[in-house]
Amino acid sequence: MTDQSAVLALARDLVAVPSHDDPAAAGDRIASWLRAETPATVDRDEAGNVVARAGSGPSLAFVGHHDVVPPDDPGQYDPELRDGRLYGRGSADMKGALAAAMCAFRDALAAGPEGELVFASFVGEELGGLGAQHAIEAGFAPDYAVVGEGSTGYSAPDATDVAIAHKGRRGSTLVAEGESAHASEVGAGVNAIYRACDAVESVRSLDAPSTTVLGHDLEGSLAVTEIEGGEAWNVVPDECTLTVDERTVPGGRAPLDRAAGEGVTWTVEQDLPPMRCAEAEFADAALDAATGAQAATPAQIVKPHATDAGWLAEAGTTCVVCGPAEPGEAHTADESVSVDVLARCRRIYGALFESWPHP
């Protein structure tokens, strides 16, 4: 069976398993394949994560996830091959990458690794990295990791690049409290919307942080994205809530606490960490593997959104992101992935696994 046909067959199999409400069946399928096809020790934790290990010494992990967002219709779990692409929920995000890595993992173990090779597929990535956090808290700590989220089509339409950094996301709320009164006697109350407007101006005055990773500039951002307040046209409101979307960079957060003043409280609702590759040598090794696997000339790039690599990097793992999905494919009604690029990613992952540990 060729590289392409083997990865395609496994990817179709994984896509066909529904995993938006409950990813357990997909995890079962991954674990059973690994037990049948590799000599690795395969574990399932109580969260539903699948982790396979073989060898000893410095560890290199491939990390992905088998949960998906809800399909637009049940038919998205019926994989379809059309015009060189595999269509179906999870094909791009990210069961196609899982299939490529599983095949590469099997092949590398057959060759006998000198270090420790790890394959991990987490749950709860679409819910903010719940599975990754659970695994890390339980001791999952590879030295290096390739996270298989999409990195194809960034530097050029047909290049599978290597992301050496990505932004994070901090979502928070500013709640302004006032004192209700009838609108005919505005002086009898304290208008929470006015306090919220002052908070908006404070947010707009803040500078978003920026940094540089391996020669690439990352710029954070801040935006007030929602406002809710008031209960009637003739009542001075006693509460108004603002939602703030912040794109964070490694080592930096905006000082949003400054937007909280009299009668205004600030609460962080979600904080997905950014990622930076801590070692240029590993980033270069990943780029070399990507270059050798394709005719295009890949580059080291920066992704604009968070992945599980942020949680791993925060815990001390040196990470890059490399995968088959292209920008804009994930979570769409006609989600798909290139079959050629799936085979390409198998070669990239295989080159990294087979040359491990890197000099």
Fold annotation for 3-166+274-354: Aminopeptidase (3.40.630)
Looking at the chain, the domain(s) classified CATH 3.30.70.360 span: 168-272
Measured distance CA(315)–CA(262) in Å, rounded: 36
- CATH of 168-272, picked from 3.40.1190.20, 1.10.540.10, 3.30.70.360, 3.40.50.2300, is 3.30.70.360
Would residue 9 be called left, alpha or beta, if left means φ above 0 and alpha means ψ between -120 and 50 degrees? alpha
pLDDT of residue 129: 96
Stretch(es) of the chain classified as CATH 3.40.630.10: 3-166+274-354
pLDDT digits (tens, 9 = 90+) for 70-91: 999 888 999 999 999 999 999 9
d(CA 337, CA 77): 14
**pLDDT number for residue 353:** 95
Q: Whole-angstrom Cα distance, residue 112 to residue 54? A: 9
Average pLDDT by stretches of 10, the chain with 359 residues: 82 97 97 98 97 96 97 92 96 97 97 93 96 98 97 96 97 96 92 96 94 93 96 94 96 91 95 96 97 97 95 97 95 95 97 86
Q: Is the peptide bond between 94 and the residue preceding it cis, with omega within 30 degrees of 0?
A: yes
User: Nearest to residue 93, comparing CAs of 195, 39, 14?
Assistant: 14
Report pTM.
Answer: 0.93
Say how far apart CA 193 and CA 186 lie, in whole Å.
13
What per-residue confidence (pLDDT) applies to 3?
Answer: 64
Q: Which residue has the tokens 């990390």?
A: 63
Are 321 and 275 in contact, with CB atoms under 8 Å apart?
Answer: yes
